[in-house]
């Protein structure tokens, strides 16, 4: 059973990867050339949703909740995810201002990241027979960063998931090693630095910190 405290710690660790903050930077906005065909796109929020991904879902929810900047976002909604807004300074400033100033935007982000990322990751965790907090951290981080636990990586090692008769710790370690190597050598060089994520997990495995009871340090920040 995953406790509320363990879930909080898992989310805080992933927040550090995403925005360099345990609490998450809800107004964080960066531009990466990681869209379709290497196109530039906005990456925004506590868990860094993308312009070509779930940003539209986030803004739709924010407008439903009648956030302070809801009416200002409405003219942009027909374009979000369809027409690049990466160079639209007004739109980008709205994202920054709402994330920094409006608790409703923070609530919308928490809700969207829970529904679109944590719950699918938790479903995979339960359905495949995993039980350990560090396993959930590895799986949740994969959903946040890659949208799933990609079959192209799962097919690169032989161990099965626990529900299929495999060893949980062996599967999680094998998956983390494969993901580390995949990120570190990816043709999109922007991903190379993100190999720090599975490297962090492998370091915790080496310490035996499967229940995440010991502090986790990554990128100069310690999550107690």
pLDDT value at position 191?
A: 86
**Interval 160-177: pLDDT, tens:** 999 999 999 999 999 999
190 pLDDT higher than 90? no
- Cα 207 to the center of its chain, rounded Å: 24
Please report how many Cα atoms fall inside a 13 Å half-sphere around the Cα of residue 41, on the Cβ side. 21
Q: What is the structure's pLDDT at 188?
A: 84
CB atoms within 10 A of CB 194: 18
**What domains sit in the chain, N to C, each tagged with a CATH number?**
4-223 (1.20.141.10)
pLDDT at site 187: 87
pTM across the whole model: 0.91
* pLDDT score, position 131: 98
Q: 140 — phi, psi (to 5°)?
A: -60, -45
Share of the chain above pLDDT 70, in %: 100
Kindly report, residue by residue over 103-149, the tens digit of the pLDDT: 999 999 999 999 999 999 999 999 999 999 999 999 999 999 999 99
What pLDDT was estimated at residue 34? Answer: 86
**Model confidence at 1: pLDDT above 90:** no
Each residue's pLDDT tens digit, 68-88? 999 999 999 999 999 999 999
Residue pointed to by tokens 């339960």: 126
Q: What is the DSSP string of the chain?
A: ---HHHHHHHHHHHHHHHHS-SS--TT-EEEES-SGGG--EEEETTTTEETTTTHHHHHHHHHHTT-TTHHHHGGGTTTTTTS--TT-HHHHHHHHHHHHH-HHHHHHHHHHHIIIIIHHHHHHHHHTT---HHHHHHHHHHHHHHSS--HHHHTTS-PPPGGGT--HHHHHHHHHHHHHHHHHT-SSGGGGGGGHHHHHHHHHHHTT-TT--S-EEETTEEE-
């Amino acid at each position: 059973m995953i406790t509320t405290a363990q879930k909080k710690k898992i989310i805080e660790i992933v927040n550090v990867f995403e925005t360099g903050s345990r609490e998450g930077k809800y107004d964080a906005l960066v531009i990466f050339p990681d869209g379709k065909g290497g196109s530039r796109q906005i990456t925004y929020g506590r868990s860094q949703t993308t312009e070509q991904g779930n940003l539209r879902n986030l803004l739709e929810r924010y407008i439903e909740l009648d956030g302070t900047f809801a009416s200002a976002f409405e003219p942009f909604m027909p374009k979000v995810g369809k027409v690049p807004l990466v160079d639209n300074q007004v739109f980008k400033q709205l994202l920054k201002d709402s994330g920094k100033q409006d608790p409703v935007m923070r609530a919308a982000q928490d809700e969207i990241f829970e529904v679109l990322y944590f719950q699918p990751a938790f479903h995979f965790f339960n359905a495949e027979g995993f039980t350990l907090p560090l396993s959930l951290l590895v799986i949740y981080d994969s959903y946040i960063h890659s949208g799933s636990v990609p079959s192209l990586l799962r097919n690169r090692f032989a161990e099965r998931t626990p529900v299929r008769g495999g060893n949980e710790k062996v599967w999680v370690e094998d998956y983390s090693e494969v993901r580390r190597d995949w990120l570190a050598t990816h043709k999109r060089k922007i991903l190379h630095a993100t190999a720090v994520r599975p490297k962090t997990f492998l370091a915790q495995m080496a310490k035996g910190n499967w229940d995440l009871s010991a502090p986790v340090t990554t990128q100069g920040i310690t999550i107690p």
